[in-house]
A and B are shown apart, each in its own frame.
Chain A
Amino acid sequence: MGFKEYVGKRTLQGFVTILLAITLNFILFRIMPGDPTRAVSGDPRVDTATRLALIAKFGLDRPLFEQFVLYFYNLLRGEMGISFVQIGRPVVSIILGRKMVNTLVLMGSSMFLAFILGIAVGVVAAWRRGTKTDVSFVLLSLATYSMPVFWFGMLLLMLLSYHLHLVPIAGTITAGVAHPNFLAYAADYLHHLIAPMMTLAVSFFGGYFLFMRDTILDVFTEDYMLTARAKGLSDRKILFKHAMRNALLPMVSLMGVHVTFLISGATLTETVFSWDGLGRLIYDSVRNNDYPVLQGIFLIMAVLVVIASISADIANAYLDPRIKEAA
């Protein structure tokens, strides 16, 4: 199978997964207690005119199958309904905006940090396997993996904010401050980002590290490593040119799958640090029974994850011709 066919196959699979996710999303929110139909027809937070408009648009008085078709049709037009809580605000504008940017910044930066650290330390540990350095890093990473992420966030807050007054307590920017220019704004934002980013990065580090270490150890057993050694290449060259390159491939595909874990961690971290992102929005929406918003976030996240995992797989196949052959 060629590269193009592989890309085609993965894209098709991803498409099917997204369709399934949409279906699941539809079903899930119809079986909620106070499902959208009832919520719309009886929720005192929604006024009569809006209610009638919603019922017409989503066909909430029609049979379930028609509702599903209409739901699908509305989705294609980028229509996800309105929030029950922030009355009248379309779900799309709540999700695709500042909150999404905040979450992407937090997730992206912490993932990047954990990734780099995991690779660097993983290579060192694998190279010195069995030594004290290796064992202590393994133990440390198992310990960080076992730590509840929200608790670590609380500890950081206690130490860095309340004790040392180094970082702000909550939010993404200092409330009530007019920033003179973009640079001041960015500095303030980054200052707020430090603690939640550290929290998430530490919680991801363990997984990346262990995976990288394992993969490198696997690569060491490959024949081409023996060849490299036999050629008389230096340790450094063997490690970075041969071992690390080959170990990076599985790491890339791991990242694709890992996005769902990121989202779970981000939800908890954003709640602890009052970070104004999608994770916190999930928490607030669950508490306020804001189903349309939840449904919207769900779908966006599922699509993001599918795209991430497909891109990771395709990048992998592009970099490693063996996958193309096997696929």
Chain B
Amino acid sequence: MVQSSEVAEGSLMEERLSITARRLRGFLSLYRRSWIGMLGLLFILAFIAMALIAPYVAPYDPRALVGLPFRKPSAEFPLGTDQVGRDIYSQLIWGSRVSLMVGLLASFFGVAIGTLIGLVSGYYKGPLDAVLMRITDLFITVPNLPLMLILAAIIGRSMWNIIFVIGFLGWTSTARMVRSQTLSIKERPYVEAARSVGARDRQILWRHILPNVFPLVFANAIVGIVDAILAESGLSFLGLGDPTKPSWGLILRYANEAGALATGRWWFIIPPGLCIMLVAIGFAFSSYSLDQILNPRLRERR
């Protein structure tokens, strides 16, 4: 008796895994056909590589004063030096770490909150839903960047705080989408069936609803990364980023403070902005292709 149920459990598990694997393969073959998506992926991988090998390719310590201030680009300093004599090129390379870390973690954090709130709100409905939706409305209503500025000023300027602040304010769209998706999924026959054989709410949410909203959550997370990277750069540019870690927004802040615009030092301004843009484009392109693949309604239309 015990054995047979174990066998059943095992084969069920296997079947579930094989379904997942098949879906994944199907997804990958679709994704590979989209050149926009592949290009995006290439950009992302390039910047991840840059972040990983930063200590080996950056010629100097990004925070060390290694030369005279305001040196022009040369073999010694590929992008010149900033106002206190730090190497801009080294700062640029190390900056990829902050950008990717903040982008990935803040988005993950925000999407996790949003998914949780959306699931609970859509599944339980009633007063809990009403309360959660009013809170969501409130977060949609408050202007994000100003609130981020204030929160960053309150809790201090460290990278982890920036991640927290961006994630904390970036969950609303996920919550709304997951909620509406949950509302429709929970009416489906298989959820009904699961409930009739005595599955608990938590089981239903975890095993039947979450897997079905996951594609949506995943697509949202990628868009969230773009937004988080841009938000981090904005915060750093306004002087509320982590002052101890070189980031692209911070370089642009230095450039602005040093009057690089007026003096025409384009090498101080163009590269960091371009890096922000390219890494964001990488995720934006990927998210665009994902959206086309994961949203079957869109696929049919074509």
A221 and B301 within 8 A (CB): yes
Interface size of A in residues (CB-CB distance below 8 Å): 59
Interface flags, A159-186, vs B, CB<8A=1, else 0: 0001100000100000000000000000
- B255-302: which have CB < 8 Å to A? 255-256, 261-262, 264, 266, 269-270, 272-273, 276-278, 280-281, 283-285, 288, 297-298, 300-302
B302 and A264 within 8 A (CB): no
The answer, yes or no, to whether B230 is at the interface (CB within 8 Å) is yes
- A21-36: which have CB < 8 Å to B? 21, 24, 28, 31-33
Given contacts A154-B252, A154-B256, contact A145 B142 (CB under 8 A): no
Kindly list chain B residues whose C-beta atoms are within 8 Å of the C-beta of A260. Answer: 140-144
A157 and B143 within 8 A (CB): no
The answer, yes or no, to whether B149 is at the interface (CB within 8 Å) is yes
Interface size of B in residues (CB-CB distance below 8 Å): 51
The answer, yes or no, to whether B154 is at the interface (CB within 8 Å) is yes
B144 and A130 within 8 A (CB): no
A283 and B149 within 8 A (CB): yes
The answer, yes or no, to whether B30 is at the interface (CB within 8 Å) is no
Kindly list chain B residues whose C-beta atoms are within 8 Å of the C-beta of A32. Answer: 150, 153-154
B141 and A268 within 8 A (CB): no
Given contacts A142-B285, A162-B262, A267-B146, contact A148 B273 (CB under 8 A): yes
- A81-134: which have CB < 8 Å to B? 129-130
Given contact pairs A148-B230, A155-B273, A158-B269, a sample of 12 additional A-B residue pairs in the complex whose CB atoms are under 8 Å apart: A17-B141, A20-B134, A32-B150, A130-B302, A150-B234, A158-B266, A264-B234, A268-B237, A282-B146, A286-B150, A301-B146, A302-B142
Q: Which B residues fall within an 8 A CB radius of A? A: 36, 134-135, 137-138, 140-147, 149-150, 153-154, 226, 230, 233-234, 237-240, 249, 252, 255-256, 261-262, 264, 266, 269-270, 272-273, 276-278, 280-281, 283-285, 288, 297-298, 300-302
Task: Identify 26 residue pairs between A and B in the complex whose beta-carbon atoms are under 8 Å apart, listed by A's number.
Answer: A17-B134, A28-B154, A31-B154, A129-B302, A138-B288, A142-B288, A145-B280, A146-B278, A146-B280, A146-B281, A146-B283, A147-B273, A147-B277, A147-B280, A148-B233, A148-B234, A151-B272, A154-B252, A158-B266, A169-B262, A217-B298, A218-B297, A263-B146, A271-B238, A294-B146, A305-B143
